Amino acid sequence: MLRARAAEVEPAEIGSKALRDLVRTMIEAMRRAPGVGLAAPQIGVSKRVIVLEDAERLMATLSPAARAEKGRAPFPLKTILNPVIELCGADEKSAQATFFEGCLSVPGMSALVPRRLEVIVRGLDEKGDMLEWQTTGWPARILQHEVDHLEGTLYVDRMLTRTFGHNDEIGQSFGSLPIAGVRELLRA
């Protein structure tokens, strides 16, 4: 399921009990994990549905400097059906950032993953209304990660492979280093 392209949500499905139940289950699973995003294939449903939310409580351990560096800011719950991402910025290299990223489908592990700094997502909300959201920083990273799931792509397909490891080891080994220092140390 995680390696296949998810099916479009059909117009007849919008507003249905089945879709409402799916969204509710996804939100509960994301919050229980806790995570900041979830795609339907992660719970075994091949549908192009994502939920995202980043709350203050999930950032409590980050310093103001770390939050600023990552562009991490809280945003309310969003449900997006059939999302399409547009990557922003003329020059791919200068328009991206690399940070450690994990996934609820690859528990306990993370790696450095380059992602675009700014994206626009277009799709439908859970009511079927058109939705467009242009965002930067961590919210843009979350969107790219979740839309990747709908395409059958995991962060391990995009990661700098030499940086892949257990979260505890990464924290102990690189916790105080800036990302550039980690990359230099690991030649990544």
What letter represents residue 69's amino acid? E
What letter represents residue 56's amino acid? E
Single out the catalytic residue among 10, 146, 151, 169. 146
Residues making up the chain, counted from first to last: 188
Structure-block tokens of residue 121: 């997502």
Structure-block tokens of residue 72: 């991490």
For helices 167-174 and 179-186, give the axis angle rounded to 10 degrees.
Answer: 100
13 is catalytic: no
User: Can you tell me the distance from the alpha carbon of 172 to that of 167, in angstroms, rounded to the nearest whole number?
Assistant: 9
Structure-block tokens of residue 107: 């528990």
**Given 3-state DSSP classes, what are the helix, strand and coil percentages for the chain, each rounded to the nearest 5?**
35, 30, 30
What does the buried/exposed string (b/e) look like for 121-134 if buried means 16 or more CB atoms within 10 Å of the residue's CB?
bebbebeeeebebe
Residues designated as active site: 146
